[in-house]
């Protein structure tokens, strides 16, 4: 998928024509903006997301209404169902918050790409800015993104959940 994004950026770039109108060095700046990226990745259903995660080396199993795919200390939970795309994709890791957040950050870009969440780079950047916080929330495209950290509990850890704002029915597990 990276090749397609790079090709799209190159194809959208008109630096040869516009270079005379730009300041020096501006032609080196990518012309694609985060607002353009959402059309880059088509929606895929939960089964396809799980297949992509499995193909990337995640170990996946079903736990009721979620498929849980693990890679090292991080787990990607995908709400299953017959939606055009999963209504919930969440990442979890246990342990001290700094360690758990680092485990999520390590797999986050790939997991979001495999889930065809076009705002993945934007979400990963935002997640990286949450250091030291115990909760935060943002919106990225059609996704509501929630971060929470469990600090003084029996099972400390970090959690990042993405919920599809376009989902209208059976959008949560419970």
- Per-residue confidence (pLDDT) for residue 77, from 0 to 100: 98
What is the C-alpha to C-alpha distance for residues 156 and 67, in angstroms, rounded to an integer?
Answer: 22
Residues 6+ positions from 23 with CB-CB distance below 8 Å: none
- Give, for all 174 residues of the chain, the pLDDT tens digit: 333 333 333 333 333 333 333 333 333 333 333 444 445 789 999 999 999 999 999 999 999 899 999 999 999 999 999 999 999 999 999 999 999 999 999 999 999 999 999 999 999 999 999 988 999 999 999 999 999 999 989 999 999 999 999 999 888 865
- Per-residue confidence (pLDDT) for residue 45, from 0 to 100: 96
From residue 49, give the alpha-carbon distance in Å to each of 27, 81, 89, 102: 36, 12, 10, 22
Two tokens, residue 29: 């700046």
pTM of the predicted model, to two decimals?
A: 0.76
Two tokens, residue 113: 């790409």
- Per-residue confidence (pLDDT) for residue 21, from 0 to 100: 36
100 three-state secondary structure: helix
What is the C-alpha to C-alpha distance for residues 86 and 89, in angstroms, rounded to an integer?
Answer: 7
| CB-count burial class (<10 Å; 0-12, 13-18, 19+) for 28 | exposed
What is the C-alpha to C-alpha distance for residues 38 and 112, in angstroms, rounded to an integer?
Answer: 12
- Per-residue confidence (pLDDT) for residue 27, from 0 to 100: 36
- Per-residue confidence (pLDDT) for residue 39, from 0 to 100: 52
What value, to the nearest 5°, has the Cα angle with vertex 122 and ends 169 and 149? Answer: 70
Tell me how far apart the terminal alpha carbons of the chain are, to the nearest angstrom: 33
Two tokens, residue 168: 């209208």
């Amino acid at each position: 998928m990276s090749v397609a994004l790079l090709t799209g950026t190159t194809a959208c770039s008109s630096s040869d024509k516009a270079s005379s109108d730009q300041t020096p060095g501006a032609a080196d700046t990518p012309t694609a903006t985060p607002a353009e990226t959402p059309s880059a990745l088509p929606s895929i259903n939960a089964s396809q997301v799980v297949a992509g995660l499995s193909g990337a080396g995640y170990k996946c199993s079903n736990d009721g209404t979620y498929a849980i795919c693990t890679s090292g200390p991080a787990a990607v939970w995908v709400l299953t169902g017959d939606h055009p795309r999963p209504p919930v994709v969440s990442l979890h890791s246990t342990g001290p918050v700094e360690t758990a957040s680092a485990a999520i950050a390590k797999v986050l870009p790939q997991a979001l790409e495999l889930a065809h969440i076009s705002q993945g780079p934007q979400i990963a950047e935002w997640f990286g800015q949450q250091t030291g916080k115990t909760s935060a929330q943002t919106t990225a495209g059609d996704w509501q993104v929630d971060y929470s950290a469990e600090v003084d509990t029996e099972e400390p850890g970090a959690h990042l959940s993405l919920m599809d704002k376009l989902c209208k029915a059976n959008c949560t597990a419970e």
